[in-house]
Chains A and B, each alone.
Chain A
Amino acid sequence: MILKPRKEDIQIILFYLGKVILGLGFTMLLPLTLALALKERVPAFDFLLSLEITLIIGLILENFFRTDRNLNWMQGMIVVSLSWLAAMFLGAVPLYLSGHWLSYLDACFEAMSGFTTSGMILVQDLDHLSRSHNLWRHLSMFIGGQGIVIVALSLFVKGFTGGFTMYVGEARDERIMPNIAHTSQFIWLVSIVYLILGTLALGLTGLLNGMSAFNSFFHGACIFMAAFDTGGFTPQSQSILYYHSLTYELITVVIMILGAMNFKLHYILWTGNRKEIVRDIETRTFFATVMLTFLITAFGLYRTGLYPQASALFRKGFYLLISSHTTTGFQTIYTRQFIGEWGDLAMVGIMCAMFLGGAVCSTTGGIKIIRIGIIFKALVQDIKKIILPERAIVVQKFHHLKEMFLENKQVRPALIITMAYLAFYGAGAIIGMFCGYPFLNSLFESTSAAANIGLSSGITDAGMPSVLKVTYIIQMWAGRLEFMSVLTLLGFVYAAFKGK
């Protein structure tokens, strides 16, 4: 029997949702401050209005549904899924007010793309967007990369309780420290340390390349946030190609790889156990899958004869490969060239990398490499069982932050989530084909949305059907949260109508 949700459930959910919305509102102070500092008067009003709307909604929810109860698992999951939707609707307001998006749906698409660190864009005339709006786009990635709910509750709102359920709800199932507030603070420490280093490196490169001092460091900060949080937004429409700089490309590749690493691995490395980087199943699998998918891409590119020199092939091919594998979405080639000249094999190599993603407990999307590593180990174990005598006991070990024995309890969820992602990629591709797009392009775009990558095969455009925009929004949302929170919300809504 399905039980109807109680009034207390709804009260607790809305109370915590209000807190998250309040936290989100405070983050709008940053672009507002920048707009005021740079005398961008109209954008300043956009952010002032959005801030007011967000704070009013947050305060209403917090005061009308005030409670001192803690969240249970179901409530925590629902708060997470609703918070990401609320972030999309409210984060889209300043974007829509700027006039650079043709409809509120387009602005919602861009906001969801930002918060989920996807990087798909529907903005018009990006090159003339105000700096404060650009900061908001990139900041949304930075907030989304850390986890909206955790950021809002642990850093901006007092009285943070019931955090672990929401930490798990945001697809982070590895606790770095016993306390979630401390875990969140460590994630922020890593991000801030790298923000300073990355912005300095990119800013100095920009300066040396002849950009103005302000632009170098502003672009540096924006590009860092998009690279480390594996988002893929850029302040200019030409993506990383705009900078025409090998150094810039090299630095962003390093930042993307760092962003694809597990935050718990950062913690272990930063506390002295540096051998972990060569022992962990995630870093080993990532290394292997990067090489494998790069060789497929390189062979595909070689066959087309597009890049006659190895260095040119490496520079373009490897950049896009790492950008896809880390689910960032930066480009150093034009989309038209990618679709028209790269050939099917290179595109398949890139797509394989897109399927896989980075580490769990990182800012990446996709299936995640630990699941690939575990499935591979399970396959090896099964082959050994077949080859060896029946009486032989086959034990498979792997190293993920500590030495572990491979068991069904690890293989089963890895297989289920992998299958769920593959089905999700396929479902989006079918809807794309219903809208009249070719199979490979539809699958590419669907994977790009569901794995939070942001590369486009040319479908994502302000002129695409609204049904496809909504499909990709749902894919970005559910893909970022790894389905569980979204499925819990759907179950909750079903129970509200059909429960007794």
Chain B
Amino acid sequence: MKTRNIFNISLGIASEIFYALLIIFTAFIACLIFYIKA
């Protein structure tokens, strides 16, 4: 049970970090596109 909890928590943390990185990456791409267009 404990191993499963730790596994779930790790995947939960990974998904949260992925969300944060997705925001950063999308903003960076948007910035690049904006610069190239301008």
Contact = CB atoms under 8 A, between A and B. Distances in A.
B26 to A, nearest CB: 7
Interface string A300-318: 0010000000100110011
A297 B18 CA distance: 24
Contacts of A313: 31, 35
Nearest to B17: A254
Contacts of B8: 270-272
A257 B20 contact: yes
Contacts of B34: 295, 298-299, 302, 310
A208 interface: no
Interface in A129-149: none
Contacts of B31: 294, 298, 310, 313-314, 317-318
Contact of B15 (A250, A274, A298): A274
B12 A269 contact: yes
B9 A193 contact: yes
B28 A193 contact: no
A240 to B, nearest CB: 15
B3 to A, nearest CB: 14
Nearest to B11: A274
B35 to A, nearest CB: 4
Nearest to B28: A314
A270 B12 contact: yes
Size band of the B side of the interface? Answer: 20 to 34
A117 B17 CA distance: 22
A322 B32 CA distance: 18
Given A250-B24, A291-B30, A294-B27, A310 B35 contact: yes
A416 interface: no
A23 to B, nearest CB: 27
Nearest to A273: B12
B1 interface: no
Interface string A255-281: 001100100001001111010010000
A287 B23 contact: yes
A254 B11 contact: no
B16 A269 contact: yes
Nearest to A250: B24
A493 interface: no
B12 A258 contact: no
18 contacts: A250-B24, A253-B24, A254-B17, A254-B21, A272-B12, A274-B12, A277-B18, A287-B23, A290-B23, A294-B31, A295-B30, A295-B34, A298-B31, A310-B34, A310-B35, A313-B35, A314-B27, A318-B27
Interface of B: 8-9, 11-13, 15-24, 26-28, 30-32, 34-35, 38
Interface of A: 193-194, 197, 250, 253-254, 257-258, 261, 266, 269-272, 274, 277, 283, 286-287, 290-291, 294-295, 298-299, 302, 310, 313-314, 317-318, 322
